[in-house]
Chains A and B, each alone.
Chain A
């Protein structure tokens, strides 16, 4: 199970890569492992507004479906167009090619509520019990 150090993590198992004012968001290795083979990802449109802790999309596996929550608020700048046709990328490379959306943050202070890699790893260990 991977927990890249340069990322931040939410309680709902999303990861965030921060570059200036832009947050790239996806789901974590633990999340994709729990869901199983991903078959579909539903994402918002460019320009949509998202709010912290509100669902912005859905990820479906064969047997389960899960909302994806925005870890920060802002406006959707970019969406990973390759995902609809290649949902397995979320399983194969959750932190790389499996990225989902890029958000232009309107309140970077929200980042402080997210966990570090070490904190998230501990969080996951607790959830497993």
Chain B
């Protein structure tokens, strides 16, 4: 087997040193009744070429990957410059372990320090961690952190306009973990969370209010207002951003009063890949740094005064704090943080802004085009970034018809919002040129 170097001669020599007659003797501690039933009913190993053929055949059956994709809803079609993958293919990065031996891991550590800095700037917060698994689990961890900060406040208010999967994951994470009460805030006709409802229901028993920014409908919440009424009642504001490209032109959560800001980083240099891996961004204020879950990289110096980087504040983490840890997270999304770091370094200050503008422009042009004939209307009146909800008669049938013409025209909302049976959540990004928008219009029955 090509990955196993040991020849018969090697094995004989090693057995001689160990002092046993055959390899099987090394398993004497394993009860015979277990050994007898252990044979793996898996076929023989395949040569590389055959594995390739098999995987290509599977990939070819995903004709969804060849369709025009105008869907977001937590995973966004963006262009990834070639340089990202070039760096990710460096074996020094991808085959490295978690940087517990900092002297030989400065590449990984410095890259993470740069990542933490970029995320903190992007979200406009004081400090960011070295990543969580995804936006959904980052949101759940933010909720748990809010409870650690305010242990006497059992309520968590989640906006119903927050990504349904994020809400589901929060639910799974908080069930059985202390007396957490999850409450859902309705959304208003304009697509934002119902702020009046929040004002009435957020109280001194509420640890945190969680809103999407933009929310699941693509709508931009009025964070200043949510922050005001949240803070007035002594609760924390948590924002969750699934389309983080938006923060290229939107006022960041930190500037609007968020106490904990999380996001899904997939839009920044990571392909769709059927939903994973992505990367969870997590940032907060300095005052809460010791309650942060996950790894943190900090600056340090060696004996000769050279600057370096180390994993720090590790006593919060599972390998030391064990049952009192701030989280159980160990492996996070390492290489994906490198992808984000390379991407943001490449697009940079001007590029991220330019891309965000291009996204917003394309989406607004598309929305105007699609609602021009009256066949479709914008469901929500509040401002949006690159996702918007279109409503019209027979929306789902239209969506099905579009599929047969190789266009994924957004995602029908009915499965999560039964009150919106005729609505599609569409996403338009920098990858959709004029031709793509034309085609989208065509399949949605909006003539030439």
Chain A residues within 8 Å of B, Cβ to Cβ: 39-40, 42, 60-65
**Nearest-neighbor residue (CB-CB) of B321 within chain A:** A65
Asked if B21 CB lies within 8 Å of chain A CBs, one says: no
CB distance from B400 to the nearest CB of A (A): 57
CB distance from A111 to the nearest CB of B (A): 29
Question: Which of these, B290, B315, B324, contacts A64 with CB under 8 Å?
Answer: B315
17 A–B pairs (Cβ distance < 8 Å), ordered by A:
A39-B315, A40-B290, A40-B315, A42-B290, A60-B315, A61-B315, A62-B314, A62-B315, A63-B314, A63-B315, A63-B320, A64-B315, A64-B320, A65-B315, A65-B320, A65-B321, A65-B324
Known: A63-B320, A65-B321. 13 other contacts (CB 8 A): A40-B290, A40-B315, A42-B290, A60-B315, A61-B315, A62-B314, A62-B315, A63-B314, A64-B315, A64-B320, A65-B315, A65-B320, A65-B324
Residues of A within 8 A of B314 (CB): 62-63
CB distance from A27 to the nearest CB of B (A): 16
The tally of CB-CB contacts under 8 A between chains A and B is 17
Q: How many residues of B contact A (CB 8 A)?
A: 6
Residues of B within 8 A of A61 (CB): 315
Please provide the chain B residues from 251 to 283 with a CB less than 8 Å away from any CB of chain A in the complex.
Answer: none
**Nearest-neighbor residue (CB-CB) of A60 within chain B:** B315
Residues of A within 8 A of B321 (CB): 65
Q: In the assembly, what is the distance between CA of A97 and CA of B214, in Å? A: 50
Residues of A within 8 A of B324 (CB): 65
**Nearest-neighbor residue (CB-CB) of B322 within chain A:** A65
**Nearest-neighbor residue (CB-CB) of A61 within chain B:** B315
Secondary structure of the B side of the interface? helix
Q: In the assembly, what is the distance between CA of A65 and CA of B290, in Å? A: 13
Q: In the assembly, what is the distance between CA of A40 and CA of B324, in Å? A: 16
Q: In the assembly, what is the distance between CA of A40 and CA of B313, in Å? A: 9
Q: In the assembly, what is the distance between CA of A13 and CA of B199, in Å? A: 50
CB distance from B97 to the nearest CB of A (A): 18
Residues of A within 8 A of B320 (CB): 63-65
Residues of A within 8 A of B290 (CB): 40, 42
**Nearest-neighbor residue (CB-CB) of A63 within chain B:** B320
Q: In the assembly, what is the distance between CA of A64 and CA of B317, in Å? A: 10
CB distance from B291 to the nearest CB of A (A): 11
Please provide the chain B residues from 278 to 314 with a CB less than 8 Å away from any CB of chain A in the complex.
Answer: 290, 314
**Nearest-neighbor residue (CB-CB) of B290 within chain A:** A40
CB distance from A55 to the nearest CB of B (A): 10
Q: In the assembly, what is the distance between CA of A106 and CA of B290, in Å? A: 33
**Nearest-neighbor residue (CB-CB) of B320 within chain A:** A65
CB distance from A48 to the nearest CB of B (A): 14
Q: In the assembly, what is the distance between CA of A90 and CA of B314, in Å? A: 19
Q: In the assembly, what is the distance between CA of A64 and CA of B290, in Å? A: 15
Residue of A39, A40, A60, A61 ringed by the most chain B CB atoms within 10 A: A60
Residue of B290, B314, B324 ringed by the most chain A CB atoms within 10 A: B314
Q: In the assembly, what is the distance between CA of A62 and CA of B349, in Å? A: 36
Query: Considering the complex of A and B, which 9 residue pairs feature the smallest CB-CB distances, nearest first?
Result: A60-B315, A65-B315, A65-B320, A65-B321, A64-B320, A63-B320, A64-B315, A40-B290, A62-B314
CB distance from B300 to the nearest CB of A (A): 11
Residues of B within 8 A of A39 (CB): 315
Chain B 307-337 near chain A by CB (<8 Å), digits 1 or 0: 0000000110000110010000000000000
Residue of B290, B314, B315, B320 ringed by the most chain A CB atoms within 10 A: B315
Residues of A within 8 A of B315 (CB): 39-40, 60-65
